[in-house]
Amino acid sequence: MSAQPLLKVDNLKTHFTLSKPHPFATPQVVYAVDGINFEIERGKTFGLVGESGCGKSTTALSVLRLVEPTSGSVVLKDTDVCQLNRKELQRFRGNMQIVFQDPYSSMNPRATAGEIIRSPLKILKIGTAQEQHDRVGELLKLVGLRPEQRNLFPHQFSGGQRQRICVARALAPNPDFIVCDEPVSALDVAIQSQILNLLVRLQKELNLTYLFISHDMAVVQHICDDIAVMYLGKIVEKADRRSLFMDVKHPYTQALLSAVPTIDVELQQKATHLEGDVPSPIDPPSGCYFHPRCPRAEARCVKEEPLLREILPNHWAACHLI
Ligand code: SF4
């Protein structure tokens, strides 16, 4: 990582206290994000990967303060996002935007594409009405749509085109940093690569920095420079793409990689298959959170929590056996 990353996340925690079923009950806490650290260099893509329920989307929303973190810091370009008051945060939002998983549910079906793309400019009071109109035309072209499509409604576009509109909306205030929260998982496979290629092209042209959330190791391998694997609110392995895919260390990452389809018979035979689901973050297992599903678990794993350690230069893993 560079000395001055664009984004630095330090010991971020997001815990939710559930409402009590009766006044004398002990309040239950969901440890959705539980002390995670990472940095992203300007112009790079950092992937957060894991199964559904591992805390990756809550991490992304916490970084943007769309969900309020419990503690920790998120420094974007020398500004600690967690320390901003409501007004300052509103102004700062132009620097950090998000593309959601399901383009259709993230847009107003009664607004035109032009109105949707223009909405952040109106909220952030950027430019005159004419400048906003011109900017929408520019953005439509930038994402591969035609300026005259500004007057169409979301249902008149295909899924891939709707995601292009969401990307254009995210780009409208000219941000440095964009969170891509499973941006292709709701799309057909053929369309997925078009949207991924669009994100890669825009990153090069505009020097964008992405936090890319995905459950799909193949997608992460295609697009990310650095990757962290999350399990039950914690990072269990973190490395650059080459190191992670060439020399995977953690049994959970190995299992995720085994789930990627391959025609290599030898790899199929070595594959580790994950049994069961991610345990509840309300009452996580003792010791290593992964021990109930880990094929290599030992007695020590049930009692002691492994720390995330640097086991190779810039390659971190949390496992007693590494
Ligand atoms: Fe598996 Fe033990 Fe390593 Fe956890 S610490 S991943 S249970 S071997």
Per-position pLDDT tens, the chain of length 322? 545 799 999 999 999 988 877 877 788 889 999 999 999 999 999 999 999 889 999 999 999 999 999 999 999 999 999 999 999 999 999 999 999 988 778 888 999 999 999 999 999 999 999 999 999 999 999 999 999 999 999 999 999 999 999 999 999 999 999 999 999 988 888 899 999 999 999 999 999 999 999 999 999 999 999 999 999 999 999 999 999 999 999 999 999 988 766 555 555 555 566 777 888 888 889 999 999 999 999 999 999 999 999 999 999 999 999 8
* Structure confidence at residue 271 (pLDDT): 58
Is the CB of 288 within 6 Å of ligand 1?
A: yes
| Interatomic CA distance for residues 84 and 308, integer angstroms | 30
Cα 182 to Cα 256, 281, 296, 302: the distances in Å are: 16, 21, 30, 32
- Atom from ligand 1 closest to the CA of residue 250: 6
* Structure confidence at residue 101 (pLDDT): 87
Of the candidates 239, 146, 134, 220, the one whose C-alpha atom is nearest the C-alpha of residue 182 is 220
* Structure confidence at residue 268 (pLDDT): 54
Is the CB of 306 within 6 Å of ligand 1?
A: yes
> Ligand 1: distance of its center to the CA of 297 in Å?
5
| Interatomic CA distance for residues 166 and 100, integer angstroms | 8
Is the CB of 318 within 6 Å of ligand 1?
A: no
> Ligand 1: distance of its center to the CA of 31 in Å?
20
Ligand 1, atom 5, lies closest to the CA of: 319
Is 95 in contact with 179 (CB distance < 8 Å)?
Answer: no
Is the CB of 56 within 6 Å of ligand 1?
A: no
**CATH superfamily ID and name for 7-317:** P-loop containing nucleotide triphosphate hydrolases (3.40.50.300)
Is the CB of 116 within 6 Å of ligand 1?
A: no
CA R_g for the chain: 21
* Beta-bridge partner residues of 45: 210
> Ligand 1: distance of its center to the CA of 196 in Å?
34
- Which residues, in sequence order, are CB contacts of 192 under 8 Å at separation 6+? 184, 219
Is the CB of 319 within 6 Å of ligand 1?
A: yes
Look at the alpha carbons of 41, 42, 47, 52 in this order and tell me if their dihedral is positive or negative.
positive
- Atom from ligand 1 closest to the CA of residue 289: 4
> Ligand 1: distance of its center to the CA of 241 in Å?
22
- Atom from ligand 1 closest to the CA of residue 295: 1
* Structure confidence at residue 105 (pLDDT): 82
> Ligand 1: distance of its center to the CA of 320 in Å?
6
Q: Which of 278, 291, 302 best tests ligand 1's pocket when mutated (most atoms within 8 Å of CB)? A: 291
| Interatomic CA distance for residues 254 and 111, integer angstroms | 45
Is the CB of 251 within 6 Å of ligand 1?
A: yes
* Structure confidence at residue 265 (pLDDT): 55
Is the CB of 15 within 6 Å of ligand 1?
A: no
Is the CB of 232 within 6 Å of ligand 1?
A: no
Q: Which of 237, 272, 274, 290 best tests ligand 1's pocket when mutated (most atoms within 8 Å of CB)? A: 290
